[in-house]
Every structure is written in structure tokens, then in C-alpha cells.
Amino acid sequence: MLAEYPSSLSDSDGTGYVARACGRLRTDGLWEGWLEFEREDGSDVVRTARETTQPNRADLLYWAVRLTPVYLEGAFRRASERSPAPSSPYLTE
């Protein structure tokens, strides 16, 4: 996890979600980042596809800490349209 954002987001039912930026080192040496949105009760997580690819962890962290609330809202909508995240902490894509 790279960053957790202070304001929560709500789905159409009013359920609150906490947003987090996550990332990992790829086998080609680049870093990729995505966003996860966890229900405030911890019962569900939705995840975006890869949102960015950066040359190093510092640049990935720079991306993560500068995301705006508007960007997070759009990413939450995109993630909510996808199927729920697998229980594994690793992406399957």
C-alpha cells in the first residue's frame, strides 16, 4: 500500500468505502499502481485495473499522493463496475 486517503467514498446505497493506492514491482523492472476501495466494514474490496506504470517506486509514490478527490471518485465508479476483487492480494490481470 502506498497511500490511504482521508475521505471515504459512498456507493449508490450509501455504503462507505476507504480508498487506497497500491503498487508492485513488475518483472520488467517497472512499477505499476492501482486503487483499491474497501468497504468500511471490511466485507468487500473493489479494485481498478492498472492506473499507472512508473519507472521506479518514488515516481509511483509521487503519483499516489497527488491523486485528487475527483480522480478517486471516477476510479471508484470504474472499479465498482468491475467484478469484486479476488481475495488474493495479488492482481490477476
Average pLDDT, the chain: 90
Q: CB of 18 within 8 A of CB of 72?
A: no
For cell 506504470, name the residue: 53
Q: What is the pLDDT of residues 8-46, one digit of tens each?
A: 899 999 999 999 999 999 999 999 999 999 999 999 999
Q: Which of 54, 35, 51, 48 is nearest to 84 (CA)?
A: 48
Q: What is the pTM of this model?
A: 0.84
Q: Give residue 82's pLDDT.
A: 75
Q: Report whether 23 contacts 35 (CB < 8 A).
A: no
What span, in angstroms and rounded, lies between the C-alpha atoms of 92 and 86? 8
| Residue 7 confidence (pLDDT) | 85
For the cut 70, the answer to whether the pLDDT of residue 91 exceeds it is: no
Predicted local distance difference test score (pLDDT) of residue 93? 45
